[in-house]
A and B are shown apart, each in its own frame.
Chain A
Amino acid sequence: MEKQKIKMAVYWGAACGGCCVSVLDVHETLFDIVAAADLVFWPIALDTKYEDVEAMPDGHIDLTLFNGAIRNSENEHMAKVLRAKSRVLVAYGSCAHMGGIPGLANFSTKEEIYCRVYDESESTLNPDKSRPLVACEAGEGVLELPEFYNDVRSLADVTEVDYYIPGCPPQTERLVEVFTAIVTGAELPPHGSVIGAGNKAQCDECIRKKNAHKKITKFNRPWEVTDDGETCFMEQGILCMGPTTRTGCDYRCIEGNAPCRGCYGPTPDVSDPGGKMMSAIASIIDEKESGPIDEVLDGLVDPAGYFYRYSLPVSFLRRAVPRNR
């Protein structure tokens, strides 16, 4: 008797599409996936309508991979619908996990973003200062647009999440491992776990040489030094988020001689990834007086954006406090 197929959905919130592409990156394994799963909803590939999903009974879908952050009311609505319809809801990728790159918009307010996009951008002519409306009366009836929120949130901020698969995007191998585990009915980790990633930081796998006397006297942008390809990036003054970031990506960036940007998110016990990394960096700056310390710190370009690149919405900060302009 043919084994019953599982029902699977892939959906995007505020996302770039990279996560959906990472699913396609399974290449020929896709045939195995299709053999084991019916894809019931996947906007990038299938023409299933929202009404079709809303019409499904609760718990109808076995596995939903939700990628992207929650930027607007449409993202939030679909997050809640898919939660109800799915037995297992996975926050897939950095944006669903921690807010991701779209989460950096929390350094601005909704109005600042609108101002830039609808008034100031070089290609825009908008003398009436028109703004998107949630509802607009037209001859044919009321036209609606999703509401653009002031804050970007992670998936778990709006609904209950069963598992998190980190990465920007997640490594396809990790997806296959998780998928296989679910299909074969292997014992799943505790509810709320990060899966498809290790518990230790990148340095555990990184083969670059690490010194006991780890000190920073100057921060360098990657182009400012000739990387010897062997020494720990931090020891060359190049910021690398590896020391605070989970393994699981096979340290591809570092292997490609680029420092880690932290997309796999913090190791399990880190309360605040950006804060933790700043605290760590501050500990190894090799200056004692405030003047020279300031000089070293001046070499840090956009520290908030660097340290919270993927995690601002889930950090203690959550967002920048709006400035009075």
Chain B
Amino acid sequence: MEKLRIGVYVCNCGTNIARVVDAEAVAGFALSLPNVVLAKTYRYMCSNPGQEMIARDIKENKLDRVVVAACSPNMHERTFRHALQMAGLNQYLLEMANIREQCSWVHKDRTEATKKAMALVQGAVLRVEKHEALESIDAHMCPNVLVIGGGIAGMTAALELADAGNKVHLVEKHSRLGGNIARVDLTAPYFYAARDLLTDRVTRTRNHEHIQVHLDSKVIGLSGYVGNFTANIAKTNGTPEKAGNPVAVEIGNVAICTGYKEFDASRVTHFGYGKLPNVITSFELEKMLKAGKVETREGKMPKYVAIIHCVGSRNHEFHAYCSRVCCMTALKYAHEIKSASPNSYVSDVYIDMHAFGKGHEDFYKRSSQAKTLFLMYDRENRPVIHKAGPKDDCEMLIEVHEKLSGEHIEIPADLVVLMVGMEAREDAKEIAHLANISQDKEGWFIESHPKLEPVATTTDGIFIAGTCVAPKDIPDTVAQARAAAARILARIAKGKIEVDAIYSEVNEDLCSGCRFCNDLCPFNAIEYVEDEKHSHVISALCKACGVCVAACPSSAIKGRHFTDEQVLAQIDGIFAEVAYDQAEPVS
């Protein structure tokens, strides 16, 4: 076999590495190792000139392996792989020695840190000798999409996808489309009718040639992997527990838009919901507003209406988070009640007024001019509602410890509206299990990055949008639904998925079918081939975590790029003697 030609690049990282580690000495040491034909230091190896230097050296010196001693591979492995690719060398013939996070940042003694850097480089050199050129594989991308949830998010995503010519299966567990918005009268802050927002979408969704709407249905099974899922959709006929015979559909991606449910106001006992007949929830008021009549249970026009904010939200007993839409909705109610009954008095009992959205601050200003009485309460000192006495000209009295004035105030009320917050649906857990995605402690689905990947999940091909992720208003929900659709469309446009070359694989000639690994894969990437009595890793699903590699008692499963041979060579290199004093520094 021809001798290998390894190039070693030691980065100074400005002074991050060079301050503690003698980079020149490390490079000199590297040059003394077998098969290393070139070793260099540079101020910032990740910079363009640094990368170009590596690419140039690969070509000019016919390097066939590269070691970069710099930062964590988490930081720049991709960068240096790209440098290898630029020079036409397979990107996996690179190994990084982390001499920053694992060396210069955690040591002070220059001699000891330099010795350690040498040991790490020696490990990397011995490891890279065992590296193999790996090729990523392509898998089919089915252009069909499954959208779960027929609310504003689900319909928006479905229409976006279908308008681009893709087949969409839209699954809605209720008997009609529209979701929670269908229960709303007008929207804040511009008083658009929710009906107007919905009607066009519902009609288009139902009539769209590329959308198949599955009403009264739920997804009861989801198998496969990105680009190649099979979903089982079953009719529930109104009773979700009794799912009928499922239909199987082939899909490539999934958009989960399952929305929220409102907080159950009867859990907050001191507001008397369920006991005092004229204490109602915001959704009950919406129903009245839609019917065009705001009245008490007794059929009277209320003279005093009190709106209480943050019911179930922003307190440690129920939900710590803000539900984001209730403040503006409450202001909307003040306007709607005032216009329905100009002689009524509306008081708005709140903790803080959250008016962060576009046009919201303006709306707040206009509302405060509309003779609404604003009373601020402390979140730890909630208002108490009780029945008024026979001499009072109102139904109920609300005791509020008003925070701004410091006064204990009692206000009259004929109708009390509780602004119930949003919470995760009970069946969110079922969906999470089905799609192999995670929920946070409140039950909301977790995005793969809270800032940079707001609609993706840790499971490839599964996207989330709208209020199943966290409370949000209609514009944000629609934006997320379109974002999810855009992400899916980009993948469909590519036509295939590239599977990273690092994954586990089963050597079928060695697998004895002991089944140790079958139940361990966190990504459901392992299947057992009954006929041939061996296990199989679906490479497109594998995230290369290595659990099955460790579990395989006969070493029939190998982690590509993390073979025993490679890891043991690295360990040998790290523990071998380092001839510290004999290294001629390289500048």
Partner of A201, one of B512, B528, B547, B564: B512
Partner of A280, one of B510, B516, B564: B516
Cα separation A62 to B528 with both chains bound (whole Å) = 46
Q: How far is the CB of A274 from chain B (nearest CB, A)?
A: 11
Cα separation A215 to B520 with both chains bound (whole Å) = 10
**Contact segment of B92-100, B239-247, B552-560:** B552-560
Q: Does B409 contact A (CB under 8 A)?
A: no
Partner of A271, one of B528, B556, B564: B564
Q: Does B511 contact A (CB under 8 A)?
A: yes
Contact residues in A for B517 (Cβ distance below 8 Å): 283
Contact B516 A200 (CB under 8 A): no
Nearest A residue (CB) for B518: A212
Contact A243 B568 (CB under 8 A): no
Contact B514 A201 (CB under 8 A): yes
Contact residues in B for A199 (Cβ distance below 8 Å): 509-510
Partner of B520, one of A203, A211, A268, A283: A283
Contact A270 B555 (CB under 8 A): yes
Whether A243 contacts B547 in the complex (CB less than 8 A), given A201-B553, A212-B519, A270-B554, comes out as no
Contact A279 B516 (CB under 8 A): no
Contact residues in B for A271 (Cβ distance below 8 Å): 555, 564, 568
CB within 8 Å of A: which of B494-552? 507, 509-520, 528, 533, 547, 550-552
CB within 8 Å of A: which of B21-71? none
Q: Does A120 contact B (CB under 8 A)?
A: no
Contact A267 B519 (CB under 8 A): no
Contact B514 A243 (CB under 8 A): yes
What is the 8 Å Cβ interface bit string for chain A, positions 227-260, against chain B (1 contact, 0 not)? 0000000100000001110010000000000000
Whether A280 contacts B513 in the complex (CB less than 8 A), given A212-B518, A212-B519, A271-B568, comes out as no
Contact A244 B554 (CB under 8 A): yes
Contact residues in B for A215 (Cβ distance below 8 Å): 519
Contact A214 B553 (CB under 8 A): no
Contact residues in B for A280 (Cβ distance below 8 Å): 516, 550-553
Contact B553 A211 (CB under 8 A): no
Cα separation A242 to B512 with both chains bound (whole Å) = 10
Q: How far is the CB of A259 from chain B (nearest CB, A)?
A: 13
Cα separation A211 to B298 with both chains bound (whole Å) = 65
Contact residues in A for B564 (Cβ distance below 8 Å): 269, 271
CB within 8 Å of A: which of B233-263? none
Cα separation A276 to B554 with both chains bound (whole Å) = 8
Q: Does A188 contact B (CB under 8 A)?
A: no
What is the 8 Å Cβ interface bit string for chain A, positions 257-292, against chain B (1 contact, 0 not)? 000000000111111000011011011100000000
Cα separation A163 to B375 with both chains bound (whole Å) = 91
Q: How far is the CB of B547 from chain A (nearest CB, A)?
A: 7
Q: Does A213 contact B (CB under 8 A)?
A: yes
Cα separation A267 to B511 with both chains bound (whole Å) = 10
Q: How far is the CB of A243 from chain B (nearest CB, A)?
A: 4
Q: Does A131 contact B (CB under 8 A)?
A: no
Contact B519 A269 (CB under 8 A): no
Contact B510 A268 (CB under 8 A): yes
Contact residues in A for B510 (Cβ distance below 8 Å): 199-201, 267-269
Contact residues in B for A243 (Cβ distance below 8 Å): 512, 514, 516, 553-554
Q: How far is the CB of A296 from chain B (nearest CB, A)?
A: 16
Contact B518 A279 (CB under 8 A): no
Contact B568 A266 (CB under 8 A): no
Contact residues in B for A284 (Cβ distance below 8 Å): 516, 519-520, 551
Contact residues in A for B513 (Cβ distance below 8 Å): 203-204, 210
Contact A214 B515 (CB under 8 A): yes
Q: How far is the CB of A166 from chain B (nearest CB, A)?
A: 14
Q: How far is the CB of A286 from chain B (nearest CB, A)?
A: 9
Q: Does A202 contact B (CB under 8 A)?
A: yes
- Interface size class on chain A is 20 to 34
Whether A210 contacts B515 in the complex (CB less than 8 A), given A271-B564, A279-B550, A284-B520, comes out as yes
What is the 8 Å Cβ interface bit string for chain A, positions 195-222, against chain B (1 contact, 0 not)? 0000111111000001111110000000
User: Among the interface residues B511, B515, B533, B568, which one has the most CB atoms of the partner chain A within 10 A?
Assistant: B515
Contact A211 B515 (CB under 8 A): yes
Contact B516 A204 (CB under 8 A): no
Cα separation A282 to B520 with both chains bound (whole Å) = 12
Cα separation A247 to B513 with both chains bound (whole Å) = 13
Contact A201 B515 (CB under 8 A): no
Contact A210 B555 (CB under 8 A): no
Contact B519 A200 (CB under 8 A): no
What is the 8 Å Cβ interface bit string for chain B, positions 152-171, against chain A (1 contact, 0 not)? 00000000000000000000
Cα separation A199 to B511 with both chains bound (whole Å) = 9
Nearest B residue (CB) for A213: B519
Q: How far is the CB of A114 from chain B (nearest CB, A)?
A: 32
Contact A266 B515 (CB under 8 A): no
Contact residues in A for B533 (Cβ distance below 8 Å): 204
Contact B553 A244 (CB under 8 A): yes
Cα separation A244 to B552 with both chains bound (whole Å) = 8
Cα separation A199 to B555 with both chains bound (whole Å) = 11
Contact A204 B553 (CB under 8 A): no
Contact B551 A204 (CB under 8 A): no
Contact residues in A for B554 (Cβ distance below 8 Å): 200-201, 243-244, 266-267, 269-270, 276
Cα separation A242 to B507 with both chains bound (whole Å) = 18
Contact B550 A210 (CB under 8 A): no
Partner of B551, one of A203, A213, A247, A283: A283
Cα separation A199 to B556 with both chains bound (whole Å) = 10
Whether A214 contacts B555 in the complex (CB less than 8 A), given A200-B510, A201-B512, A283-B550, comes out as no
Q: How far is the CB of B240 from chain A (nearest CB, A)?
A: 28
Nearest A residue (CB) for B509: A199
Q: How far is the CB of A241 from chain B (nearest CB, A)?
A: 9
Contact A200 B518 (CB under 8 A): no
Contact residues in A for B556 (Cβ distance below 8 Å): 200-201, 267, 269
CB within 8 Å of B: which of A282-324? 282-284
Q: How far is the CB of B405 from chain A (nearest CB, A)?
A: 53
User: Among the interface residues B507, B509, B514, B564, which one has the most CB atoms of the partner chain A within 10 A?
Assistant: B514
Contact residues in A for B509 (Cβ distance below 8 Å): 199-200
Nearest A residue (CB) for B551: A283
Q: How far is the CB of B98 from chain A (nearest CB, A)?
A: 24
Whether A200 contacts B511 in the complex (CB less than 8 A), given A212-B528, A279-B550, comes out as yes
Q: How far is the CB of B515 from chain A (nearest CB, A)?
A: 5
Contact residues in A for B547 (Cβ distance below 8 Å): 283
Contact residues in A for B568 (Cβ distance below 8 Å): 271
Nearest A residue (CB) for B557: A269
User: Among the interface residues A199, A200, A277, which one has the most CB atoms of the partner chain B within 10 A?
Assistant: A200
Contact B555 A269 (CB under 8 A): yes
Contact A200 B553 (CB under 8 A): no
Whether A277 contacts B553 in the complex (CB less than 8 A), given A214-B519, A283-B520, A284-B520, comes out as yes
Cα separation A283 to B547 with both chains bound (whole Å) = 8
What is the 8 Å Cβ interface bit string for chain B, positions 371-396, against chain A (1 contact, 0 not)? 00000000000000000000000000
Q: How far is the CB of A26 from chain B (nearest CB, A)?
A: 29
User: Among the interface residues A199, A202, A280, which one has the most CB atoms of the partner chain B within 10 A?
Assistant: A280
Cα separation A266 to B556 with both chains bound (whole Å) = 11
Cα separation A204 to B518 with both chains bound (whole Å) = 16
Nearest A residue (CB) for B528: A212
Whether A283 contacts B515 in the complex (CB less than 8 A), given A200-B554, A243-B553, A267-B510, comes out as no
Nearest B residue (CB) for A235: B515
Contact B512 A203 (CB under 8 A): yes
Contact residues in A for B507 (Cβ distance below 8 Å): 269
**Closest A-B pairs by Cβ, 7 of them:** A283-B551, A201-B512, A243-B553, A280-B553, A204-B512, A203-B514, A203-B512
What are 17 A-B contacts with C-beta separation under 8 Å?
A200-B509, A200-B512, A201-B514, A201-B554, A203-B515, A213-B518, A214-B514, A266-B554, A267-B512, A267-B556, A268-B510, A269-B510, A269-B564, A277-B553, A280-B552, A282-B550, A283-B517
Beyond A269-B555, A279-B550, 15 extra complex contacts between A and B, CB < 8 Å: A200-B556, A201-B553, A203-B512, A212-B515, A213-B518, A214-B514, A234-B514, A243-B512, A243-B553, A267-B512, A269-B507, A269-B554, A271-B568, A280-B550, A280-B551
